[in-house]
Chains A and B, each alone.
Chain A
Amino acid sequence: MIGFLVILLIAGVMIFLTLPAMLRRRELRDAAVYSLLTLGGIVFSTFAALLLPFPSPLRLVVAAYKPFADWLFSAMGWKG
């Protein structure tokens, strides 16, 4: 839980230091991307900090290339 709070605190400080300035200068696209990235960062960091189970994003890569890789490895007789 402490990890989560620390992350929230750091993210809060970060947002406080940059976001108001961006909004004041009407850089809305920057602000939107910034909030999105920070939100993602908070979510992922929390998972990592609290050691919550999370499926590896590499499984997407595996899923995308599995058919091709399997075919190639067996066709070429490579050690898998």
Chain B
Amino acid sequence: MKNALEKGRIGSRQLAILIIFMTVGDSILILPSLTARAASQDAWISAIAGCLLALPMLWLWMALAGRYPQSNLAEYARGLLGKRAGGFVSLYYSIYFFFVSTGLIRELGDFFTIQIMPETPLRAVHLLILLVIAWGLAGGLEAIVRTSELFFPWFILLLLALLICLTPLLTPDNLKPMLSEGVSPILHGSLYVLVYPFAELVSLLMVFPYVARSRSTKRDILLAASIGGLIMFTVILFSLMVLGSYLTSNQVYPTYALAKKINIGSFLQRVEAVVAFVWVLSTFFKTSIHSYAFLLGIAETFKLRSYRRFIGPFVLLQFGLTYLITPNFAFYTDVLFKYWPFWDLTNAVLLPLVLLLAHSASRKRTALKA
């Protein structure tokens, strides 16, 4: 890797922790509602199906990254598709990463201004979050990843405690009747489980070359994705069992509503702040990696000297767009429900597939020449 923009290296366990954070990401709060809207009480089956569908996608990425262990997405896109088309693809991906992070920040902002602090202006919340993301980006990939490691035990502990506290409230009857509307709604629900926790992990293709690989890297990635999937599955299952499918699908933040229900011996109650904490954490890491991927992508596309000096313009751009990305939250959830999944799938499956095909075509060409 000549003239590398990123000097830091991350370990394979650190990557695994990052993947768990990113899978949980914003999904922990918005996914149950989307899935239940599509599949009603069968949403938990959708969760399993979605996780299974994610496996071939992960395989595709690892196949692609495995062909070019030393380069990131932008670098091999240019190598495979030529200077023009490759440059265009890497610019396109950068814009995509940018908008994913825009959406995530907006989700955080909307959540806090709607649910917790109605008097605080939305743009102030955006600015605060953007500043800490910029602070992380300035620290570099290594600092972000180490921070995720620092928070990881807390994250898991709080999540587990939350789920355990919910067990007395579980009503399995809420899952009946099973498969009442056939397979199609389940497939519909699985689309969201495939897309929001997993397909948006595609930004990791920008990070893979900086992972110090060991023999267990592949296993760690799969394990981390499975743990993330398991968390998503449990959260969806619990939402359905505690709130029922109607409430789950009609609330924007079912998990938050879930935590509000916790009341153990009337002394352990009002712990929904814990959910907010967990959500802020996981979304922060997802957003940071997408922002990082944007900056790195831009730097690779235009062959710049360093990505760090573009943090300032990034914050300025992002500050504007997080506010402008949607006129209201309803429009945003509508896009999330109907259109965004296909955009994600295009970038997570279709384009990587094209790149992989281009790779084998170029291999054949060189083989023929030889």
Please count the residue pairs between chain A and chain B whose beta carbons lie under 8 angstroms apart in the complex: 115
**Docked complex Cα distance between A65 and B343 (Å):** 7
Chain B interface mostly helix, strand, loop or mixed?
helix
| In the complex, B185 has a CB within 8 A of chain A | yes
Q: Which residues of A contact B310 (CB under 8 A)?
A: 33-34, 37
| In the complex, A23 has a CB within 8 A of chain B | no
**Docked complex Cα distance between A58 and B184 (Å):** 27
A61 close to B298 (CB less than 8 A) = no
Q: Which residues of A contact B298 (CB under 8 A)?
A: 33, 37
Q: Which residues of A contact B37 (CB under 8 A)?
A: 79
A interface residues, how many (CB within 8 angstroms): 40
B316 close to A78 (CB less than 8 A) = no
Q: Which residues of A contact B306 (CB under 8 A)?
A: 30
Q: Which residues of B contact A27 (CB under 8 A)?
A: 304-305
Q: Which residues of B contact A11 (CB under 8 A)?
A: 316
Chain A interface mostly helix, strand, loop or mixed?
helix
Residue of B nearest to A7 (CB): B316
A56 close to B331 (CB less than 8 A) = yes
B interface residues, how many (CB within 8 angstroms): 39
B309 close to A76 (CB less than 8 A) = no
| In the complex, B339 has a CB within 8 A of chain A | yes
A48 close to B323 (CB less than 8 A) = yes
Q: Which residues of B contact A22 (CB under 8 A)?
A: 309
**Docked complex Cα distance between A24 and B320 (Å):** 30
Q: Which residues of B contact A48 (CB under 8 A)?
A: 123, 319-324
Partner of B342, one of A30, A58, A65: A65
Q: Which residues of chain B in 317-344 are interfacial with respect to chain A, using CB atoms and an 8 Å cutoff?
A: 317, 319-327, 331-332, 335, 338-340, 342-343
Q: A48-B123, A78-B185 are in contact. Are A57 and B317 (CB under 8 A)?
A: no
B305 close to A64 (CB less than 8 A) = no
Q: Which residues of A contact B304 (CB under 8 A)?
A: 27, 29-30, 33
**Docked complex Cα distance between A13 and B179 (Å):** 60
Q: Which residues of A contact B319 (CB under 8 A)?
A: 41, 44-45, 48
Q: Which residues of chain B in 278-337 are interfacial with respect to chain A, using CB atoms and an 8 Å cutoff?
A: 298, 302-306, 309-310, 312-317, 319-327, 331-332, 335
B184 close to A77 (CB less than 8 A) = yes
B339 close to A44 (CB less than 8 A) = no
Q: Which residues of chain B in 164-204 are interfacial with respect to chain A, using CB atoms and an 8 Å cutoff?
A: 184-185, 187-188
Minimum C-beta distance from A62 to chain B (A): 5
Binary interface encoding of chain A residues 50-80 relative to chain B, with 1 for a CB under 8 A from any of its CBs, else 0? 0000101110011011101100010011111
Residue of A nearest to B317 (CB): A41
Minimum C-beta distance from A30 to chain B (A): 5
Partner of A30, one of B123, B309, B323, B339: B309
| In the complex, B152 has a CB within 8 A of chain A | no
Chain A residues in contact with chain B, CB under 8 A?
A: 7, 10-11, 14, 18, 22, 27, 29-30, 33-34, 37-38, 40-49, 54, 56-58, 61-62, 64-66, 68-69, 73, 76-80
Chain B residues in contact with chain A, CB under 8 A?
A: 37-38, 99, 123, 184-185, 187-188, 298, 302-306, 309-310, 312-317, 319-327, 331-332, 335, 338-340, 342-343
Known: A48-B320, A68-B342. 9 other contacts (CB 8 A): A14-B312, A30-B305, A38-B312, A47-B324, A49-B123, A56-B325, A57-B99, A57-B324, A79-B37
**5 closest Cβ pairs, A-B complex:** A44-B320, A41-B316, A37-B313, A48-B323, A45-B320
